[in-house]
Amino acid sequence: MARVVVDVMLKPEILDPQGQAVQGALARLGVSGVTSVRQGKRFEIDFDGAADEATVQEIASTLLANTVIEDFAVHIEDAG
């Protein structure tokens, strides 16, 4: 089986209020020196056979990420 990991992040130019809220909480936690927090999503998808790269790209670009506002990166972790 294969595990595929897809990381999805808002594009750099898109405002991330959740990241800003986390950054604000860090300050209240007493953590200093944080200049930016951006929040994203991680998907772990297990296939019963080998993962097909084209299929994964299709899944990521049509469902997991909205490419109008998000970028994604695909990693195939285990092809065994």
Partner 1 sequence: MTARIGVVTFPGSLDDRDAQRAVRVSGAEPVALWHGDADLHGVDAVVLPGGFSYGDYLRCGAIARFAPVMQNVIDAAGDGLPVLGICNGFQILCESHLLPGALIRNDVRRFVCRDQWLRIENTDTAWTTQYATGQEILVPLKNGEGGYVADESTLDRLEGEGRVVARYLHDNPNGSYRDIAGISNERGNVVGLMPHPEHAVETLTGPTTDGLGFFASILHGLVSA
Token pair belonging to 80: 């065994």
**Is 73 a binder of partner 1 (CB under 8 A)?**
no
Q: How far is the CB of 14 from partner 1 (least distance, A)?
A: 6
Which residues make Cβ contacts (< 8 Å) with residue 80, sequence separation at least 6? Answer: 1, 2
Interface pattern 8-27 for partner 1 (x via CB under 8 A): --x---xxxxx-xx------
In the bound state with partner 1, the residue whose beta carbon lies nearer, of 41 and 75, is 41
**Sheet harboring 2-10: ordered strands across?**
40-47, 2-10, 70-78
Taking the C-alpha atoms of residue 13 and residue 16, their distance in angstroms, rounded to an integer, is: 9
User: Contact positions toward partner 1, by CB under 8 A?
Assistant: 10, 14-18, 20-21, 63-64, 66, 68-69
